[in-house]
Amino acid sequence: MDDVRQLFERHEYLAKASMAFCYAITVSVAMNFFWTPGHIYSSGYTGISQLIDTMSSRYLPFTIPTAIGLFLLNIPTFILAWKQIGHQFTVFTVIAVFLASFMIKTLQPVYLTKDPIICAIFGGVVNGFGTGLSLKNGISTGGLDILGIVIRRKTGRTIGNVNILFNVFIVIAAGLAYGWPYAFYSAIGLVVNAKVIDLTYTRQQLLQVMIVTERPKSVTDSVQNHLRRGITIIHGAEGAYNHAKKTVLFTVVSRYEMGEFEEAMNESDPDAFTTISPITKIIGRFWEPKVK
């Protein structure tokens, strides 16, 4: 049994390390193929690092490259993640940020296009996909991702929206550095980046599920066997068409869990009437798996 557990852990570690490398590739491609050629600022600490690079090259006798600034800025968030989120999470975050910094420095800019709109949109898509995929697999890209996770646990706001709020400063900086048209282009990239993160990182997207069924015991057991979710049961419902006695069940799942939920419903009561709607915020107890 111990050998199986160790094998599983090694596989998990290898998968996370591979995902950290994939993120490093995506952010370096976004930076060197799109953002740098288009004079577009990224989101979060990456954008702040770009700003430091720009300002230091203009006003200081030395330049602080984006790659180095990115890693240095993340050191305080590494400490926050270690204390507030999880040790394994922090270790792989350090790996992801280090690899990202290394790849940004190593991969030379390729000027596919200098069109700022194209650079803003495609840079946001590439980086947002890499960031969301990393979070989905239990690692962070540092910076605002860590702050977003901590803030979301306390307020319920999504990581994408938290990013947008923090990035107002970066938009203003883009305007001051390159002119106000580039501020608007950078804003487009930030919104695209945030939305792609939310589309990819589906663990944070919560859905309310209402089930009308004649087999409440079977449905409840099946859902709870597949998912660790509480269920509220309302007895005494009645169908208006044939006046059959029914039970209404309420629960909340993440979009990431929808596959397992649908499997549970197909096993227990495929004829149940089920509605699913998005949730913007939850107040009260709601279990979420902790990040290691």
At 7, the pLDDT band (50, 70, 90 cuts) reads low
pTM score: 0.73
Query: Rounded to whole angstroms, what are the CA distances from 52 to 15, 24, 149, 157?
Result: 33, 20, 25, 28
Write the pLDDT tens digit of every residue in 156-195.
665 556 666 777 888 888 888 888 888 899 999 988 988 8
Q: How far apart are CA 66 and CA 151, in angstroms?
A: 26
Helices (H), 112-158: 116-136, 144-155
pLDDT band at 75 (very low <50, low <70, confident <90, very high): very high
At residue 197, the pLDDT reads 82
pLDDT beyond 70 at 3: no
Lowest mean pLDDT among 9-13, 211-215, 288-292: 288-292
pLDDT for position 90: 86
Lowest mean pLDDT among 115-129, 149-163, 225-239, 271-285: 149-163
Q: Inform me whether the pLDDT recorded for 261 exceeds 70.
A: yes
pLDDT at 284 over 70: no
Dump pLDDT digits (tens) for 123-145: 999 999 998 888 777 777 888 77
Contacts of 196 (CB under 8 A, 6+ apart): 124, 125, 128, 129, 132
Q: Which fold has domain 205-278?
A: Alpha-Beta Plaits (3.30.70)
Give the pLDDT confidence score for residue 110 in this predicted structure. Answer: 81
- 161 versus 228: which is more confidently predicted? 228
Neighbours of 213 (CB within 10 A): 21
Count of positions (residues) in the chain: 292
If DSSP codes are grouped into helix, strand and coil, which group holds residue 221? helix
Amino acid found at 115: D
| pLDDT given for residue 246 in this prediction | 92
Mean residue pLDDT of the chain comes to 84
Domain boundaries, the chain: 2-203, 205-278
How confident is the model at residue 249, as a pLDDT? 93
CA distance 176 to 160: 24
Is a pLDDT exceeding 60 seen at residue 35? yes
pLDDT bracket for residue 12 (50, 70, 90): confident
Predicted pLDDT at 256: 76
User: How would residue 204 be classed by pLDDT, with cut points 50, 70 and 90?
Assistant: low
The pLDDT, as a whole number, for residue 156 is: 61
More confident residue, 275 or 7: 275
Give pLDDT, residue 244.
86
The pairing of strands 206-213 and 232-238 is unpaired
